[in-house]
Amino acid sequence: MNASPSEPIRLLWVDDDRLVAATLAGSLKDNGYAIELARSAEEAWPIIDHQTIDLVILDERLPGQSGLEFAAELKQRGMPFLFLTAYGDTALVHGAVQNGALAYLVKPIDTAQMLAAVRTALARSLELRELRNTGKNLQRALDERREISIAVGILMERMRIDRQPAFEMLRKSARSQRRRIEDVARELMQPYSNSPHAAQ
């Protein structure tokens, strides 16, 4: 979602049914959302490439690239989207969910339902983004911990000392250089990782 409170949340509506799109888009505009309209995936991509879009609302039956094909590419880009379509058969719903749809709405739908779905999808999108960021931070922490552990092992072998003195040596080296211990550990690993014995 948009980080700046001064900027409205921007939605991209991709539907070749101009009447439905215009009617519901007008209601969303009245509720403070900025709306971009496209009749196909081909029309939508330039908008996505040149603007910040917080949520894509799309139909399944689009001219050219289908809604499901479009959704698969949106998923690859990490863009949140929901379906609003006249088709509610199980295969389409399953395909939408598999491609990461945050909601699957079947027309006709009223303004209150649309607003509720958009708010829910935006909230879910934010949660997923925070989870992804947490996962990345956790992986980074695990990687750094692993590097420190390997560097301590290298010092234990080289200096013939126990783990705690080796760790203290690494930490003192980082302090004296005013560098992060992870960076010093990574540097210590460089010759080892290039050694023919590193993979053993």
pLDDT computed for residue 198 by the predictor? 39
Residue 115 in domain = no
Q: Are residues 101 and 26 part of one domain?
A: yes
In this structure, the answer to whether residues 25 and 84 fall within a common structural domain is: yes
| Residue 129, in any domain of the structure | no
Give residue 43's pLDDT: 92
Query: Which of 109, 127, 144 is the last residue in one of the domains?
Result: 109
Q: CATH number for the domain including 141?
A: 1.10.10.10
pLDDT at 197: 40
Judge if 62 and 152 occupy the same domain. Answer: no
Q: State the pLDDT at residue 189.
A: 78
What does the pLDDT read at residue 90?
A: 77
Low-confidence residues in the chain, pLDDT < 70 = 1-6, 128, 130-133, 135-139, 141-142, 191-200
* Burial profile 119-146: b = 16 or more Cβ within 10 angstroms, e = fewer: eebbeebeeeeeeeeeeeeeeeeeebee
Does residue 130 fall inside a structural domain?
no
Residue 120 falls inside a structural domain: no
- 104 & 142 share domain: no
* 92 plus 19 within the same structural domain: yes
| 143 in the same domain as 68 | no
- Are 145 and 101 contained in the same domain? no
- Among 74, 94, 109, give the residue marking a domain's end: 109
The CATH number linked to 51 is 3.40.50.2300
Tell me which residue range forms the domain holding 179: 136-193
| Inside any domain, residue 200 | no
Of the three residues 66, 91, 109, the one that is the final residue of a domain is: 109
Domain identity same for 16 and 104: yes
Q: Is residue 3 part of a domain?
A: no
Q: Same domain, yes or no, for 98 and 14? A: yes
Predicted local confidence at residue 3, as pLDDT: 47
Do 21 and 80 fall into the same domain? yes
Residue 117 resides in a domain: no
pLDDT computed for residue 75 by the predictor: 87
Question: Could you tell me if residue 126 is inside a domain?
Answer: no
Question: What's the structural domain count of the chain?
Answer: 2
